[in-house]
Amino acid sequence: MLVSDLYELRERFDDEKILLCFNGPISRSLIEEIGNALRNYLKSEQASPASAIDVFAVYIELTQNIRHYALKSGLTGADMATVVVSFRDGHYHISAGNLVRLKDGESVQSAVNALAGLDKTELKKRYKEQLRKPRDEQATTGAGLGLIDMARKATAPVQASLKPLANDTGYLSLSVQI
């Protein structure tokens, strides 16, 4: 990208009310540093302690899920994360995407969609059930507890989209509104 193009990129960020954006290989230390920046931003914007903790929690679950998936799947490029936090219409939106095997993306998408119709009481029940499952069982179902936790914190159903790409892979995006 030419230097002169950055202004347009910035305008796009401003239009979309994006307050934080990252695109590239994500590491443990980057998750912490960006998380720190996010917390400082929320503090300076005087977000309520409850919203600040919810936004941070969702950010951590989304990015750590990507890290765990990248390590577990061994899929080349799975650790290239796109993370966006925006504030629109009185709500924070935390989104994260990465490359996945198509079948893994489909199972996350169906898990997210299965939670979409549940009310807070049902979500809490699912959460407690998941918490009691043996760790091995959790590992096979992937990010079970994290997805339920995000659904509980969200003020609208979690959005999951999957764009099929070459070689049985796809780009999985999750978006959570607080």
Name the segment binding other proteins (CB under 8 A); options: 26-34, 73-81, 107-115, 164-172. 26-34
Let me know if 158 is exposed, middle or buried by CB neighbors in 10 A (0-12, 13-18, 19+): buried
In the complex, least distance from residue 21 CB atom to other proteins, rounded to whole angstroms: 21
CB-based contact 115:158 (threshold 8 Å): yes
List, edge to edge, every strand of the sheet that includes 159-165: 18-25, 80-88, 91-101, 169-177, 159-165
Question: Is residue 85 involved in binding other proteins (CB under 8 A)?
Answer: no
CB of 111 to other proteins, least distance (A): 14
* Only segment of 10-18, 85-93, 110-118, 124-132 that touches other proteins (CB under 8 A): 124-132
What is the full DSSP assignment across 40-57? HHHHHTT--HHHHHHHHH
Please identify which residue in 18, 30, 60, 102 interacts with other proteins, judged by CB under 8 A.
Answer: 60
Q: How far is the CB of 33 from other proteins (least distance, A)?
A: 9
Compare residues 18 and 30 and give the one whose CB is closer to other proteins.
30
Contact 85, 38 (CB under 8 A): yes
Binding site for other proteins (CB under 8 A): 28, 31-32, 36, 49-50, 53-54, 56-57, 60-61, 64, 67-68, 128, 131-132, 135, 138, 145-146, 149
